[in-house]
Amino acid sequence: MKKIIFDLDDTLYASKELRELREQEILKLVGNKVDDYEKLRKTNTTTQSILKLGIPRERLFEALNSVDVPLKKDKLLINVLKNLKENYELVVMSNSPSLAVRKTLNKLGISNLISDTYSAEDFPRSKPAEECFFMVSKGDVCVGNNFDKDLAIPKKMGAITIYLGKEPHPDAHASIKTVYEIESALEKVV
């Protein structure tokens, strides 16, 4: 069975509130190195920035896992994923730590629909590191909101890419503005 591999944050849900809560925890973690962190973030992932400041990944994971997840059950998303699950294995791959991923999937009400999850602890480096995409096979579908981080490597591997964003991405096979549009996008590209 082919897979649909979803990025989590800002793909299966969008929450400015959750993003801000996580950022507050990160700023507490970096302490008096906030200016250095913000400079590093302009050209690095959060994890890369934290590591360059000399803070172990595990401390970042602890900080992110401590954040409450202010999300609610998403009935529309549940219905979309139930329909997709009839023909695909559903997978989530996130740069967030595993507890944060589980809490998010539980709050959304979709944890029982996801076959596998891969989180930051599963890889020595964060996406877009090539080793993060070991589960992608030719013909699988990858969905994400950051082409370079979520979709560029899967596309090279022969996956079908669906970009989620306000504007279409020229390198993706299809683009959608919300995850709820995925079924119509799949009809066009699969």
Beta partners for residue 118, in sequence order: 93
pLDDT above 90 (res 45): no
Condensed to tens digits (0 to 9), the pLDDT of residues 74-131 reads 999 999 999 999 999 999 999 999 999 999 999 999 999 999 999 999 999 889 899 9
According to the model, what pLDDT value does residue 126 have?
Answer: 87
Which domain CATH number covers 153?
3.40.50.1000
For helices 16-30 and 57-65, angle between their N-to-C axes, nearest 10 degrees: 140
Q: How far is CA 92 from the centre of its chain?
A: 7
Q: How far is CA 127 from the centre of its chain?
A: 9
According to the model, what pLDDT value does residue 190 have?
Answer: 86
Positive or negative: CA dihedral 145, 23, 100, 51: positive
Q: Are residues 90 and 182 in the same domain?
A: yes
The count of domains in the chain is: 2
Phi, psi of 46 (to 5 degrees): -55, -50
Q: Are residues 88 and 123 in the same domain?
A: yes
Q: Are residues 113 and 127 in the same domain?
A: yes
Phi-psi region of 57 (alpha: psi -120 to 50; beta: other; left: phi over 0): alpha
Q: Are residues 89 and 109 in the same domain?
A: yes
Condensed to tens digits (0 to 9), the pLDDT of residues 46-59 reads 999 999 999 999 99
Structure pTM? 0.94
Q: Are residues 23 and 100 in the same domain?
A: no
Condensed to tens digits (0 to 9), the pLDDT of residues 136-184 reads 999 999 999 999 999 999 999 999 999 999 999 999 999 999 999 999 9
Residue 59: half-sphere exposure toward Cβ, Cα within 13 Å: 13
Q: Are residues 109 and 149 in the same domain?
A: yes
Q: Which residues contact 187 (CB under 8 A, 6 or more apart)?
A: none
Q: Are residues 139 and 154 in the same domain?
A: yes
- Domain hosting 23: range is 16-65
Radius of gyration of the chain (CA): 16
Q: Are residues 149 and 56 in the same domain?
A: no
Positive or negative: CA dihedral 112, 79, 100, 163: positive
pLDDT above 90 (res 32): yes
Q: Are residues 55 and 30 in the same domain?
A: yes
Q: Are residues 136 and 75 in the same domain?
A: yes
Q: Are residues 61 and 118 in the same domain?
A: no
Q: Are residues 145 and 100 in the same domain?
A: yes
